[in-house]
Structures are given as C-alpha cells and as structure tokens.
C-alpha cells in the first residue's frame, strides 16, 4: 500500500489479467481509506461509543465497501482469548449426536461462540490428535463426548486451563464438568423392562466397539440386572464396526441359528434394531409375541417401523442446551459441576406383551 505525492492513497488492489490478487483488507486498509488511525477503527468495532458518530459511520461504510472481515487470529493472539468452542464427538452417523451438536451450536451462537468440530470415530489416537489440534486454536472451552479418554487427552485438557464439559456420560472420573446420564442404569432398565414384560432368555446384539465405553456400561448394567433376576447367561452377538440395519439383520440371523430359545433381543442402537426386526420378520418370528426387541437411542424412525420400537430416549436437546449454559457459566467463573440428565423408556409395540 502506497501513498502518492498528494497524500491520497492508492488502493492496494491489483488486477492481474482478470485474476484478483488483492490482499485481504485489514484494519489498516480501513484506517487509511477513512484517514484515521488503526486504533480508532479498532475502537469503532469494539467500543463504538468511544468514536464520534459521524466518523463511525464513515468507518462502517468503508468496512462494508471493502468487505472487511476482522482477522480473529490477530485479535485472538492479542486479546489472549477466542470465541471458539471445541466440540469433540465420537460419531456423526445416524443422528447419534447430531441433535446434541445442533442444539449446542445454536445455543452457543446466541452467545457469539463458534463451534470447531472434531469427530474421533471412536479412535483414541485420533482423539489425541484432534484434541491437540483444537487446543492449538486456544478455544474458550471444549465440549467432548464421554468421560473415558486416553490419559494424554485428559492431561492435555487439564493442562489447557479452560472449561471442559464432558457430555453424554456421568458416573466416573470427570475432568471438570459433566452433563450426561448413567449408562449402566439404562442397561438395567432395559433388562428390567423385558423381565417385567415376561421375557426370559435375553440376548444382546449390535456394534460393540472397544472404545465405546458407554455401550459397554449399558451391557454391564443389563447383565447385572438380568443376573439379579436369576437370568444367568445372556447370548451376545457383537461386532466392532459401526451399527447399521444390515449389521443388525446379519447378527440377529446368526444369533437365531445358534440360539433357538431367545426371548428378547436388546440392541445397542435403534438402527441395529431396525435390521433385527427385519431379520425376525423374514424368519416368521412375531414381535412382540415370540420375541421382544428393545433398543437405545430413539431414532426419529423408531416410532415408525413395524412394530414400533421400544427404546431408550436420552434427552439430547437438554444435554446440548445445558452444555452451552455450563460453558458460559464456567467461562464467567462458575464452579464445575456434574449434572445428570433424564432419559425415558419409550414403551412401544416391540415389547408390548402386557400393558
């Protein structure tokens, strides 16, 4: 950017055979165009009432004309804080966490906080890498799915000194603040419900990943409650890959071949249950009369399959909203705390033997 003899500025815009090589406008470009100091322009942005109205207007016009967008790298570096919230989820498939993200993102938006998203896909190495990457942007806070992380992740998050909200799970060691529910209790409730409905032999089907501690906890709770009711063995058929209807159909098929006396099938997720229902129908098994099916998640289609699917509905919206609240509270000096969020058993036809 140069000043010519008359003191009028020459815009740094250059057109090179149609290609735009103009450098992105900075506060300095605006300052120069308006004829004030950088500092005044900055104040017009951060503290408008410290700038004369007329000047402010000219500055705003200039910004609009040049399509000025503040450089938050600079702002963040200088101000030592950003408005980024890192959000780390373990999966984006099948709306498992989509509505948490959705609610969280829009609640944060109201506070002018920006989501930086990472998906670990249940891979702990990826989790370390992603957490590191997110922290490198000096976020104001991090919200992360689960309370079971690789030690390095815990270390990094703790060392960061920012609020850390662990979502979706509770009941264990928490880094800072947790908002979720007890997955073992969910598993126990599934077992209880089936037993109450008169089902005897229970089976478990679905994706069970080495690093999905929540799923493991639910299974644990299921087995414990079944044992308490005198049901010793639970037939299991799991795979480490992600859940899907096809997986459910296949696993249920295999299960029925090896175990003829199955009373009810617990599915790790609704989408798996969709496939299980299909497998049962193909084999002429009636649901809920011959075999009961219960799942976890309450996918949007759970009430629409035939028979409608009994499942557990976590309150994802609430988790998202409370997480946003907790982030803001913690940033403003509030105390860390653990909040347990409700879930519901959606009693539908797939287990309705009695009313």
Partner DNA sequence: TTGAAAGCGCTACCAT
Partner DNA sequence: ATGGTAGCGCTTTCAA
Among residues 12, 137, 229, 347, the one that binds a second copy under rule CB under 8 A: 137
Cβ atoms of 342 and 181 closer than 8 Å: yes
State the DSSP string of 308-351.
Answer: PPEEEEE-HHHHHHHHHHHHHHHHTTPPP-EEE--EEEE--GGG
Q: Give contact residues for DNA (rule: CB under 7 A).
A: 23-24, 26-28, 36-40, 42-43, 45-46, 49-52, 55, 70-71, 74-75, 77-80
Taking Cα atoms as reference points, which of 56, 54, 57, 66 lies closest to residue 26?
66
3-state SS assignment for residue 168: strand
40's contact among a second copy, DNA, none, with CB below 5 to 8 A by partner kind, is DNA
Q: Which residue in this structure is represented by tokens 């408005």?
A: 83
Cβ atoms of 200 and 231 closer than 8 Å: yes
Binding status of residue 297 toward a second copy by CB under 8 A: no
Read off the tokens for 334: 């509030």
CB of 182 to a second copy, least distance (A): 26
For the segment 153-172, give every residue that binds a second copy (CB under 8 A). 155-156, 159-161
Q: Which residue in this structure is represented by tokens 């470009």?
A: 29
26's contact among DNA, a second copy, none, with CB below 5 to 8 A by partner kind, is DNA
Read off the tokens for 224: 């414990």
60's contact among a second copy, DNA, none, with CB below 5 to 8 A by partner kind, is none
Count of residues of this chain found to bind a second copy when the rule CB under 8 A is applied: 63
CB of 261 to a second copy, least distance (A): 26
45's contact among DNA, a second copy, none, with CB below 5 to 8 A by partner kind, is DNA
How many whole angstroms separate alpha carbon 353 and alpha carbon 167? 35
Q: State the CB neighbour count (10 A cutoff) for residue 131.
A: 26
Q: Which residues bind a second copy (CB under 8 A)?
A: 20, 22, 24, 67, 69-77, 82, 84, 87, 92-95, 98-99, 101-102, 105-106, 109, 112, 114-119, 121, 126, 130, 132-138, 155-156, 159-161, 244-245, 271, 274-275, 277-278, 299-301, 303-306
């Amino acid at each position: 950017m140069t000043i010519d003899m008359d003191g009028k500025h020459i815009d740094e815009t250059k057109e090179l055979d149609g290609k735009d090589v103009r450098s992105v406008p900075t506060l300095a470009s605006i300052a120069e165009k308006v004829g004030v100091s950088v500092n005044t322009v900055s104040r017009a942005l951060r503290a408008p009432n410290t700038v004369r109205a007329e000047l402010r207007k000219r500055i705003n016009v200039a910004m609009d004309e040049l399509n000025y967008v503040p450089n938050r790298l600079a702002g963040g570096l200088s101000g030592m804080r950003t408005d980024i919230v890192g959000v780390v989820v373990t999966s984006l498939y099948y709306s498992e966490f989509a509505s948490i993200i959705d609610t969280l993102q829009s609640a944060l938006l109201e506070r002018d906080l920006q989501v930086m998203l990472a998906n670990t896909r249940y891979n702990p190495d990826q989790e370390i890498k992603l957490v590191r990457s997110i922290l490198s942007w000096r976020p104001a806070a991090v919200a992360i799915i689960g309370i079971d992380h690789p030690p390095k992740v815990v270390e990094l998050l703790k060392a960061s000194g920012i609020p850390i909200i662990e979502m979706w799970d509770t009941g264990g060691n928490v880094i800072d603040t947790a908002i979720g529910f007890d997955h073992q209790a969910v598993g126990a409730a599934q077992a209880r419900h089936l037993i109450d409905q008169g089902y005897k032999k229970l089976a478990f089907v679905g994706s069970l990943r080495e690093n999905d501690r929540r799923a493991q906890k639910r299974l644990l709770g299921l087995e414990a409650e079944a044992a308490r009711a005198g049901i010793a063995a639970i037939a299991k058929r799991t795979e480490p890959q992600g859940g899907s209807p096809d997986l459910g159909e296949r696993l249920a098929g295999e299960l029925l071949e090896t175990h003829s006396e199955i009373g009810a099938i617990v599915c790790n997720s609704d989408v798996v249950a969709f496939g299980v229902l299909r497998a049962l129908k193909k084999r002429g098994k009636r649901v809920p009369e011959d075999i009961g099916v219960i799942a976890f998640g309450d996918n949007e289609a759970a009430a629409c399959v035939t028979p409608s699917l009994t499942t557990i509905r976590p309150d994802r919206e609430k988790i998202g909203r409370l997480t946003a609240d907790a982030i803001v509270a913690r940033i403003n000096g509030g105390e860390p705390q653990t909040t347990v969020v409700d879930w519901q058993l959606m009693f539908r036809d797939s287990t309705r033997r009695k009313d």
